[in-house]
Amino acid sequence: MSSHEENVTETPESQSTHAETRQPSPEGSQPQPGINPRTAIILAVVALAAVALLLYSGIHSRVAAESRLKQQTEEASIPTVAVVQPKEGAPTDEIVLPGVTQAFIDSPIYARTNGYLQHWYFDIGAHVKKGQLLAVIDTPEIDQQLQQARADLDTAQANVAIAKITADRWQGLVSDGSVSQQETDQAVINLKAVQATVQSNAANVRRLEQLQSFEKIYAPFDGIITVRSTDIGALIDAGASTQPKELFHIAATHTLRVYVAVPEVYSPGMRSGASAALTLDEFPAETFRGNIVRNTNSIDLASRTLLVEVDIDNPTGRLLPGAYVFVHLKLPDTTHSVTIPSNALIFRKEGLQVALARDGKARFVAVKINHDYGNSVEINSGLQPTDAVIVDPSDSLIDGTPVRVSKNTAGGSAP
């Protein structure tokens, strides 16, 4: 046996193993698969579920992101506003308004005739009575004209006497035919003519006497001389072609008038006969009583006020015309007011308004101002102390606009 054969000689154990390997398989049998079919189906279902889960997660996250973006955009579009709460003021049962005292009668005195001032008897500050002589004017021209008019009247009266004798005589002669009817009629008519001349001359005399009486200037009422704008020798020209010059100015101060512009909101309580009080800085501890005597019964379109006249008795003359006073007027009902900053007011065609933050929206309400203090205003109608008033509202803000209240200002109060 050769060496090659020796190398391929197998042991009994290896021969047995090869024999088993080379044994044919049973007839009709198939080889075993690597994965069970049921397991494969389960794996496929799991894979599909995983894919669906990934798709759902991606779509849901995108929808959620879009929803959050939309919500954030809407929230960002809502304006943030600063608000304050109105400051409640003390209840008001009266209003205090400024006024200026005026004399009950305040009259300038002019000359009614031409001439030169001969004398004056009262200066400024003098108390005069009705009918007292204030000044005398020298009127030589009027005096001469009056003498001429009286002479013309005497001449006319003499002519009337002659005309009457002639007419009577002619009427006696016409009956027996001594004179004609024509001559008699002429005599009668001539009498009537000269009688008319007498009446004309008499009227001219009375006119000149009236002018001459204006040489003396008298006080037309009891009062105080507040102005004397003439002096002795001054030329007095009362002609219609020139501007007359005031000689004196007289004021009756036994009663004073005060005209007060009352705001429209208080006008219903300003009735005639209602009491009023005056205070002055020069009399800090005193109050002067008066009454409302009349009003214009009409609201001024420019100032929206009612002009009211208050009369005050001033028998001692302590109150002077032209004094600045404070008029206290009683109100029929107690008025409650609040104070807000001036920059909260809205001026539009609808009138004066204020924007409030209510339930997340801006609500506009009409208001009325009682007093204007510059940086703030007192409102007596339209607001409550619990309201949230929007300050510095934008021009684009309208009623019903959603708003967000700034946390830094919520709950603040007006100055």
For the stretch 90-137, pLDDT in tens is 666 788 899 999 999 999 999 888 889 999 999 999 999 999 999 999
pLDDT at 399 exceeding the cut of 80: yes
- Residue 170's pLDDT is 66
Share of the chain above pLDDT 70, in %: 83
- The predicted-structure confidence for 31-75, as pLDDT tens digits, reads as follows 445 567 878 788 788 888 887 777 777 777 777 767 776 666 656
Question: Half-sphere exposure of 192 toward its Cβ, with a 13 Å CA cutoff?
Answer: 5
Which of these, 342, 365, 355, 414, lies nearest to 389 by C-alpha position? 355
Is the pLDDT at 84 greater than 60? The verdict is yes
Distance CA 271, CA 297 (A): 10
Integer CA distances (angstroms), 408 to 77, 317, 362, in order: 19, 60, 18
pLDDT band with cut points at 50, 70 and 90 for residue 241: low
pLDDT at 198 over 80: yes
Res 250 pLDDT > 50: yes
pLDDT for res 90: 66
Q: How confident is the model at residue 76 (pLDDT cuts 50, 70, 90)?
A: low
| HSE-up of residue 244 (Cα within 13 Å, Cβ side) | 14
Binned at pLDDT 50, 70 and 90, residue 334 comes out as low
Mean pLDDT (the chain) is: 81
274 near 330, Cβ under 8 Å? Answer: yes
What is residue 217's predicted lDDT score, i.e. its pLDDT? 92
Query: For residue 191, is pLDDT > 90?
Result: no
Taking each helix axis from N to C terminus, what angle separates 140-173 and 181-213, rounded to the nearest 10 degrees?
160
The three-state DSSP-derived secondary structure of the chain is: CCHHHHHHCCCHHHHHHHHHHCCCCCCCCCCCCCCCHHHHHHHHHHHHHHHHHHHHHHHHHHHHHHHHHHHHHHHHHCCEEEEEECEECCCEEEEEEEEEEEEEEEEEEECCCCEEEEEECCCCCCEECCCCEEEEEECHHHHHHHHHHHHHHHHHHHHHHHHHHHHHHHHHHHHHCCCCHHHHHHHHHHHHHHHHHHHHHHHHHHHHHHHHHCCEEECCCCEEEEEECCCCCCEECCCCCCCCCEEEEEEEEEEEEEEEEEEHHHHHHCCCCCEEEEEECCEEEEEEEEEEEEEEEEECCCCCEEEEEEEEECCCCCCCCCCEEEEEEEEEEEECCEEEEHHHEEEECCEEEEEEEECCEEEEEECEEEEECCCEEEEEECCCCCCCEEECCCCCCCCCCECEECCCCCCEECC
Bigger pLDDT: 253 vs 337:
253
Could you read off the pLDDT of 388-397 as tens digits, one per residue? 898 988 888 8
Considering the chain, what percentage of its residues have pLDDT values greater than 90?
30
Model pLDDT, residue 169: 74
Q: How confident is the model at residue 412 (pLDDT cuts 50, 70, 90)?
A: low
Q: What is the structure's pLDDT at 386?
A: 86
How far CA 220 is from CA of 148, 226, 243, in Å, comes to: 31, 14, 22
Q: What is the pLDDT of residue 397?
A: 85
Q: Is the pLDDT of residue 10 over 80?
A: no
Q: Does the pLDDT of residue 25 top 80, yes or no?
A: no
- Which residue ranges form the domains of the chain, and what is each CATH number? 80-92+337-413 (2.40.420.20), 96-100+253-333 (2.40.30.170), 140-211 (1.10.287.470)
Task: Write the pLDDT tens digit of every residue in 261-281.
Answer: 998 878 888 888 889 999 999
Q: Mean per-residue pLDDT for 301-328? A: 92
